[in-house]
């Protein structure tokens, strides 16, 4: 069956996965908001860890206005490869518009976390949710033994924001204060890394290199 090229180019990723993996190496490469957006994007990866989304699709899932994501495509290229491709449109002047194909990076074992899709249901501002992901990435057995000022320096954030976000997370039941720091309590949100699968690699067969075999009937 031949697939209509226009339909193929215009499609978007609609199948949500149960979890997304996030490499610890990206903790300082994205601000909290973009880190949470990256998580949402990763939830809709296919078997080859690729996502076809428009900015309007991302804004819909993060419940933001499109204008809030005007710099997202530029910023996200710090952690993944974004390929652009043309899609035909019905417009009196322009023949096509450009869409994005986001290539989610492979798992960096053992330095990654596996976060459940249920995290999107947590009712907190996306900045706070992204900040929580940062905490999960640097925590040791869910504990961070740092004073607020040292934690702020480690994450490249302001001390007041760290203290404010920690209070919001405490009220949401996602952290508790302990001597010399905080303990994260993600419970069912943080999954065992053993369930995470590496992305598949697509190796199309070149028909010119295929050895042709023939069988003779007896």
Q: How many CB atoms lie within 10 A of CB 118?
A: 14
Residue 6 has pLDDT above 50, yes or no: no
45 Cβ contact partners less than 8 Å away, ≥ 6 residues apart: 13, 17, 20, 51, 104, 199
| pLDDT for 99 | 82
3-state secondary structure of 212: coil
The pLDDT of residue 215 is above 70: no
Q: Please name which of 75, 68, 129 lies closest in space to residue 102, comparing C-alpha atoms.
A: 75
Find, among 53, 116, 119, 117, the residue nearest to 80 by Cα.
53
Lowest mean pLDDT among 56-60, 107-111, 166-170, 211-215: 211-215
How many Cβ atoms are within 10 Å of 2's Cβ, its own excluded?
4
More confident site: 168 or 90: 168
CB atoms within 10 A of CB 197: 11
pLDDT per residue as tens digits for the range 37-58:
999 999 999 999 999 999 999 9
pTM of the model: 0.85
Question: What is the tens place of the pLDDT at every residue in 156-195?
Answer: 999 999 999 999 999 999 999 999 999 999 999 999 999 9
| Residue range 102-118: mean pLDDT, rounded | 97
Distance CA 144, CA 174 (A): 13
> Order of strands, edge to edge, in the sheet holding 181-184?
143-144, 181-184, 175-178
């Amino acid at each position: 069956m031949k697939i209509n090229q226009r339909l193929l180019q215009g499609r978007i990723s609609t199948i949500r996965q149960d979890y997304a993996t996030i490499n610890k190496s990206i903790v300082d490469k994205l601000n909290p908001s973009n880190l949470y957006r990256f998580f949402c994007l990763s939830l809709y990866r296919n078997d080859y860890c690729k996502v076809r989304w428009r900015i309007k699709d991302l804004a819909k899932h993060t419940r933001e206005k499109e204008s809030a994501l005007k710099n997202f495509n530029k910023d996200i290229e710090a952690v993944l490869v974004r390929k652009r491709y043309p899609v035909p449109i019905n417009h009196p002047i322009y023949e096509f518009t450009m869409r994005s194909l986001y290539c989610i990076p492979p798992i960096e074992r053992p330095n990654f976390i596996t976060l459940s899709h249920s995290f999107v249901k947590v009712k907190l501002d996306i900045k706070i949710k992204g900040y929580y992901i940062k905490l999960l990435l640097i925590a040791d057995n869910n504990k961070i033994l740092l004073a607020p000022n040292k934690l702020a320096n480690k994450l490249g954030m302001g001390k007041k924001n760290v203290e404010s976000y920690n209070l919001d997370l405490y009220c949401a039941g996602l952290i508790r204060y302990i001597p010399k720091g905080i303990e994260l309590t993600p419970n069912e949100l943080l999954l065992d890394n053993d369930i995470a699968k590496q992305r598949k690699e697509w190796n199309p067969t070149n028909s010119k290199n295929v050895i042709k075999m023939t069988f003779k009937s007896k």
